[in-house]
Amino acid sequence: MKLWDGHIMEKGERIAVVGPNGSGKSRLVDSILGNGNIRCIAFRDAFSLTGADYYHQQRWNSMDAEDSPTVMELLYRNHPAEVVRDHVGELFSALGIASLSEKRTVMLSSGELRKLQIASALLARPEVLVIDNPYAGLDTGARDVMNSLLEKVAAKGETGIILILSRESDIPPFITSVVRMGTVRRAGLDDKSRNAILSLPEASGDYHAEVVAELRNVSISYGGRKILDGVDWKIRNGEKWALCGRNGSGKSTLLSLICADNPQAYACDITLFDRKRGSGESIWDIKKHIGYVSPEMYRAYLQHAPAGEIVASGFTDIVGICRKPDPEQLSSARFWMNIFGIGDLEDRYFTELSSGEQHLCLLARAFVKDPEFLILDEPLHCLDDGNSTLAKDVISTFCRRKNKTLVMVSHYTENFPDIIDRKFELP
């Protein structure tokens, strides 16, 4: 099959397309589509499996979650019944998701959604399977499982594999040829930018609490399935935590309780900023002191709006754009976009940016109000080596300031900045 620039893809060939953010990988994928029976899986499409009416907090609202299909209902809706019956068992077993069959899709973690995407695409028996950032949201074991499955699929000679990657280190052993695009920028934060962050004025207010968050014997269940079981965790002012755990272990659920997104928080013994949940404070009193980014936020921002407005929306504490930012908010957005090396994208529409550039915008959004508590759930999603180094430098520099507390999630040990000095792991 002819794909691009005269490249002929043989049956079962395994190609890695590697390049930095903004190098044109997404445009290359667009040029490939339409050439035949080709299926493309992109990170931005994962949450489309949860339904057209998906909103950010839906996963934590059990009544709304009941409106989403189960995993098997979704597959039977999208594929012939005999194909699902004959092949889904083998695929689910290979991906380690057999236990998810009756789970509502909206309740899946980003990693579980990723595996479901792979299974659904393979049920279509494509001639070529293109996967954009295949390892986004997957823990170490899940990455190994996916590589093993894709290698077996390609070895049968029926389906070619093309992986779109931002990092050379993500190229798996089974790849037979590599196409490199662009030049990776490896510089971190420059001295001028570092000094600009360190010179920001100290935040004022009454939330300089000794204990930023404390959970005591917290348990959360959905549909009879226990997500968190007796969790105790105390986060003190100025501490820098890595939150770890396998896909589906409850990391995002735990963060939803801290960020006041989960209504079950009122039934739990949780203290935020030295104030017990349910003692009279509103969720907006809490959120205005938290800077947050997560994979679940991504879909809410696929809007045809200028990138600068997307970044400035961090001031509203509402996921999505609800109103135009004022000049002061745009000025702060501009400052952080320049810090993250995307100042030239301010007037570009968000939907026209590469996935890596979009993720840098959402990461900058978490910083715009100079929050006291940073909660970063997989913040380096889709970033190349250079931008990952830059982002880690920004996080470390920001958190060296007084009264700055950090919780960060990543399945890659090397993604954690050097300022992290504590670890909380979910079983």
Q: How far apart are CA 171 and CA 288, in angstroms?
A: 40
Give me the DSSP letters along 180-201.
Answer: E-S--------HHHHHHHHTSP
**14-180 in CATH: which number?**
3.40.50.300
CB-count burial class (<10 Å; 0-12, 13-18, 19+) for 343: middle
List, by residue range, all CATH 3.40.50.300 domains of the chain. 14-180, 191-425
Mind listing the pLDDT tens digit of every residue in the chain (427 residues)?
666 666 677 777 899 999 998 888 878 877 777 667 888 887 666 555 555 455 455 555 555 556 678 899 999 999 999 999 999 999 999 888 888 888 888 778 778 888 898 899 999 998 889 998 888 878 888 889 889 988 888 888 888 899 999 988 899 999 999 989 987 776 789 999 999 999 998 866 555 788 999 999 999 887 677 889 999 999 999 999 999 998 888 998 899 888 877 777 778 899 888 877 666 667 777 888 899 998 778 777 777 889 999 999 999 877 766 678 899 999 999 999 999 999 999 999 998 888 889 999 999 999 999 999 999 999 998 899 999 999 999 999 999 999 999 999 998 889 999 999 999 999 8
Q: Which candidate, 426, 406, 394, places its Cα nearest to that of 188?
A: 394
Distance CA 367, CA 339 (A): 10
Q: Is 240 within 8 Å of 422 (Cβ atoms)?
A: yes
**pTM of the shown model:** 0.87
CATH architecture of 191-425: 3-Layer(aba) Sandwich (3.40)
DSSP bridge partners of 276 = 271
Q: What CA–CA distances, in Å, run from 151 to 101, 102, 140, 405?
A: 24, 28, 17, 42
CB 279 within 8 A of CB 265: no
